[in-house]
Chain A
């Protein structure tokens, strides 16, 4: 099976690296402390269960982050001849009939936040936009149809 690629901005990568380091420290602190007893009278001690569950999720998130960090590809500004094409990291200005303007930045799934105008390349809208060029007409067919013209493509990556 192909390994999944995770597309991140430099900023996004730094954040994940920090989360990874923080979780490793938390795990260390947790396992160095006193482990709750497994039995509480005749019942399984809920504190032990909770400790074990926390540890399981810590381990699973650490493993997930290790996998992501191993399979990360940094989003870069494309070469000059590709700057007029919508790719990851592009901020796309779209014009609709009537002159209404909408704007999105295409990011990888891990950094998507549509409320901030950052949509995932794996979302339906993201998929519709990818690969289109300046002045192209893009038809987004959710159950309702929206037609945009690509007015501007910018790459302002940090």
Chain B
């Protein structure tokens, strides 16, 4: 348990590391590695669904594909180099166009990157029990070397997600958007369906006229909606006065990672279901905004709010139920709307997963809702580490009310031992 918590704390850093490409392109407050991972996982799932691939494997591959960057950082040796100087015209051009390298140089840079990332992953997984550590290492190796069809597919999805993000940041004009993202993507993507998906992206953003494909168009729209969660800071932390807090996407990344680590120890739970449930447990925020349970009316001043947040609100059972049903109804409408264009079977699956989580009506839903509280507690404790005046009392209270699973209680105790400030 101690080691799993250490792993989580380290991997949590991915929620604070911005992606290098965007930093170099001077994007203000760019996405973090964790937020990128989040949409890659969702993309791998919904696009892999159409291919009838092993969805559990796809979700796992996509979830761990960039965790090596915890220590290795987000290096982009094929696009840029250390010491790039945007004041120089030639460097500015390379940013838009991509660097040109010989095959040997690409291999040399690729090998350095691979070794760095491998060492980073070995360091990170050394916190875990050997069996889980090996599984994660093999998944990453599969992705990196494109061994299985799911590994190949995820590698392509990673590029497509980055491409979509570049269009969201820079638009589709060559002068601002550049071509490097397209070049990088078109070098990698080979799957016929994903090539069609690139056509759909071109139709939507570049006014091209490739053959229509309603199913892929709908998935693109869905993924664009999902991308909003990367820019949505969690309301609770905002109200608590945290500057630049984790986003909803960042939180979902943490929870899905927790589902991977701890779900494995709950043999009676369906691991695939748990992972997918973590992924969609809060996508309703796209429509409803990020809501917080229990709190009804909050004072306007930060000082008064800080006082209120020291404890959970004291409410009658009826008041709790009333707040729950207000949120639940709004979220139910939201989940139906967000998934309305997806294939009906996938749509039903997502709605059912969300429902089971929200009402705790399945063993997976009950377990995940406990992990969800612990994810918030962990984040709160990490914020407290940076600011000793930050109170986590309400989060402890919440965890004490919600957790009854022995594994969750063990994790909570470990958090207390390792992170609680007296």
Q: Are B366 and A112 in contact (CB under 8 A)?
A: yes
B149, B272, B416: the one within 8 Å of A53 (CB): B272
- How far apart are B194's CB and chain A's nearest CB, in angstroms? 17
- How far apart are A157's CB and chain B's nearest CB, in angstroms? 14
Known: A57-B270, A112-B404, A115-B320. A142 touches B399 (CB 8 A): yes
The winner among B268, B363, B420 for most chain A CB atoms within 10 A is B268
Q: Are B316 and A101 in contact (CB under 8 A)?
A: yes
B53, B321, B393: the one within 8 Å of A144 (CB): B393
Complex alpha-carbon distance, A37 and B392, angstroms: 54
- How far apart are A8's CB and chain B's nearest CB, in angstroms? 14
A47, A101, A116, A123: the one within 8 Å of B403 (CB): A123
Complex alpha-carbon distance, A39 and B416, angstroms: 50
The winner among B273, B320, B324, B396 for most chain A CB atoms within 10 A is B320
Does B401 count as interface, using CB distance less than 8 angstroms?
yes
Q: Are A102 and B314 in contact (CB under 8 A)?
A: yes
B54, B268, B294, B396: the one within 8 Å of A46 (CB): B54
Q: Are B396 and A143 in contact (CB under 8 A)?
A: yes
- How far apart are B271's CB and chain A's nearest CB, in angstroms? 9
Does A119 count as interface, using CB distance less than 8 angstroms?
yes
The winner among A47, A116, A126 for most chain B CB atoms within 10 A is A116
Binary CB contact string for chain B from 309 to 338 against chain A (1 if under 8 A, 0 otherwise): 001001111101101100000000000000
Known: A113-B360, A115-B320, A117-B317. A146 touches B404 (CB 8 A): no
What chain B residues lie within 8 Å of A125 (beta carbons)?
400-401
Nearest neighbor of A121 in chain B, beta-carbon distance: B404
Nearest neighbor of A58 in chain B, beta-carbon distance: B270
Binary CB contact string for chain B from 49 to 63 against chain A (1 if under 8 A, 0 otherwise): 000111110000000
**B contact set with A: CB distance below 8 Å:** 52-56, 149, 268, 270, 272-273, 293-294, 311, 314-318, 320-321, 323-324, 359-360, 363, 366, 392-393, 396-404, 409, 416, 420, 422
- How far apart are A101's CB and chain B's nearest CB, in angstroms? 6
Complex alpha-carbon distance, A120 and B402, angstroms: 8
Complex alpha-carbon distance, A102 and B400, angstroms: 14
Q: How many residues of A contact B (CB 8 A)?
A: 41
Nearest neighbor of A102 in chain B, beta-carbon distance: B314
Q: Are B416 and A143 in contact (CB under 8 A)?
A: yes
Binary CB contact string for chain A from 97 to 127 against chain B (1 if under 8 A, 0 otherwise): 0001111110001101111110111111110
Q: Are B315 and A103 in contact (CB under 8 A)?
A: yes
Q: Are A142 and B396 in contact (CB under 8 A)?
A: yes
- How far apart are B356's CB and chain A's nearest CB, in angstroms? 11
A47, A104, A109: the one within 8 Å of B404 (CB): A109
Q: Are A49 and B54 in contact (CB under 8 A)?
A: yes
Binary CB contact string for chain A from 44 to 63 against chain B (1 if under 8 A, 0 otherwise): 00110110010001001100
Q: Are B401 and A114 in contact (CB under 8 A)?
A: yes
Binary CB contact string for chain A from 112 to 153 against chain B (1 if under 8 A, 0 otherwise): 111111011111111000000000000010111010000000
A47, A60, A121, A123: the one within 8 Å of B401 (CB): A123
